Amino acid sequence: MKKIVLATKNAGKVDELKALLKDHDVTVLSLLDLGYEPEIEEVGMTFIENALIKARTIFEEYGLLTIADDSGLEIDALDGRPGVDSAIYAGHPKDDQANMDKVLTELKNVPQSSRTARFRCTLVIIDEAGQEHVVHGKCEGRILDEKRGLNGHGYDPIFYVPEASLTMAEMTGAEKNTLSHRRKAFDQLEKMIEKLLKS
């Protein structure tokens, strides 16, 4: 059975990948499973740079097929911010409420028509030969001027998806899973892994 390392300590992400690959003869390992304790510094200027940093660090350590991701929110009226700083936009420690409040303050005088935004997810896969592969996913929407919904996390309560007529935080887990940037990236990831397993 082939081992795949997901370069994260986030149990939710690991469960998502396990569910995606349940029909394949693979074992998905997290950094916790491997006993990897250091924090990998995400010093890249883009999602792909951060994902590459994580994937390369873990691949060099273990030599196993490695997957890493980076994701965040891009708001057009803020020149793409918060971007790679999405998780810590309002500073340390990470605070979802403070991050949303900062965005809403910065967009205070911006009309709804100009509040377009998207969630992006970049996934990097390094195969056992050391070849790097990249897939992307995105979900288009706009930023509301108030929070709506109690589900999800991060910026979900202010991110409105016209396709669903709901914010991400108003969606059920199943609804979000069909539309999210992470789901779209993971769907491409599955196709990539299928190719790698056959090769």
What are the structural domains of the chain?
2-198 (3.90.950.10)
Q: Calculate the alpha carbon distances from 15 to 7, 53, 91, 147 in Å.
A: 13, 22, 29, 28
pLDDT in tens, 125-178: 999 999 999 999 999 999 999 999 998 889 999 999 999 999 999 999 889 888
* Residues involved in catalysis: 70
Q: Residue 35 has what DSSP assignment? A: T
Q: How many residues does the chain have?
A: 199
Residue 18's Cβ-count burial label (10 Å; 0-12, 13-18, 19+) is: middle
Of 180 and 1, the one with more pLDDT: 180
pLDDT in tens, 9-34: 988 888 888 888 888 889 999 999 99
